[in-house]
Amino acid sequence: MDVAWQQRVPPHSRELEEAVLSAIMQDPVNAMPIVSDLLRPADFYYEAHQRIYDVALRLWRQGVQPDTTALQAELAAVDHLNYVGGESYLYQLVCAVPNASCVESHARGVQERSLLRQAMGICTGFLNEAYQPGNDVYELLDGLERRILGLEITLSEHALASAEDALRAYWDSMTTEEEAQADGTVRRRFRPRPTISSGFRDLDTVTGGWREGELIIIGARPSMGKTALALSLALNAAKRGKRVGFFSLEMSKELLGMRLLAMTTSIAGEAIRLGDLSDDQLDKLNAAYSELAQLPLWFDDTGGLSVRALRARARRMVALHRVNMIIVDYMQLMHSGIKSNEYNRVTEMSYISQGLKGIATELKIPLIACSQLSRAPEQRKDHRPVLSDLRDSGSIEQDADVVLFLYREDYYTQKTPETYGYESGYNDICPPVAGSKVEVNVAKNRNGDTDMLYLTLMREYTRFEPYLQEDLR
């Protein structure tokens, strides 16, 4: 047996390991969510690096940012500082890369070499066993298969749960309330954990509100109001004290800020953009600015995010700001982050939708994602969308818990927008406003019934309102 290959140095890269540790110390807030998702201490080849990362990981899980100072203090406390090279080596690591922007690719490089080393160890063990006389070939092959499969399992964050685990998880999600009855007795009620309201009564009646772990898809053709509805849902939740993270892959945070002002003040977005405002309108804007600035809303306008990058940023939002809900506008502008000639757009969108569902499940929050539809509605006499119109992938329909389709008849008929009132009615102070009637088709509802309801899109203000009735003039 030729064993010359066994004398070779196993796959590793000191430079990549140093780059990952450098990024952690330079920018722990941004680097640790990414690195902790990819690497364990054992994935580092050098034991000194394993110990440094182990301490960094422990600090991060305790809510402490593992920068150079914190790492140095903790390494000294556990008597590892001299072993890893002392203060001088830590400061040498900080200078290993100019910035932390490439930490994901560096961490992937470390992970890939670790997987190769583990695979080589499995194969070496198999070869040694295969040379032993009397071993059953099928048992050997079965053992090899299980060990190789174990490598894939280490890349997954999902774990099996017993029936007891599942029941306990459900039981813990319920709350017990006591209600006084008319006869003086007290009745106990078992209620599910409160959901996040959409801010629209009819929509909440159908969906029951947004539940943790749900993936909600808002699907529509362009100009139907996907972003306006997503922003309305975010604003409605934030006004009710819920903490919302909004990822906009299409629109800058400046434009989103302008839209929020228009939605809140009922001043046309075009007027705000051009600065054509009266003194009263400027006073309204100032008041709205002060109100909106206090809301628990966070925006990320980074374009072209991969699933893994979105997951890392979402984790960071949850860790730092304790967000209760995340919105993504929109999913077709994401990419899978997987480089392979075997992946076409359909399989890539399947990976993205599965990734979004995974984020919602892992972080235990509802995730709302806008989705473009294919051109099929344009080619039908009835332009109303159906589930098969979800663009590029049937997996979106499968992964989603709730699918909402938006449809505006006036978009296709060029009909003049109808006039609608506000929920509280209108008068001289609050006159009727031209708005578009929008059909909201709850086409899929995993935890309830499907139904059709209506909202009003105030297009000038890019704001959705409850639909009342037509022709109030």
Q: Which residues are catalytic?
A: 250
Phi, psi of 406 (to 5 degrees): -105, 140
Say if CB 263 and CB 463 are below 8 A apart.
yes
- What CA–CA distance (Å, rounded) separates 349 from 394? 9
b/e per residue 9-19 (b: at least 16 CB within 10 A): eeebeeebbbb
List Cβ neighbours of 38 (8 Å cut-off, separation of 6 or more).
104, 107, 108, 110, 111
DSSP 103-168: HHHHHHHHHHHHHHHHHHHHHHHHHHHHTSTT--HHHHHHHHHHHHHHHHHHT-------HHHHHH
**Contact criterion met (CB below 8 Å) for 232 and 221:** no
- Cβ-Cβ contacts under 8 Å for 53 (sequence gap 6 or more): 20, 21, 24, 39, 41, 44
CA-angle at 390, arms to 385 and 395, nearest 5°: 145
Question: Contact 196/325 with Cβ under 8 angstroms?
Answer: yes
Instruction: Report the phi/psi class of residue 425: left, alpha or beta, with left for phi > 0 and alpha for psi in -120 to 50.
Output: left
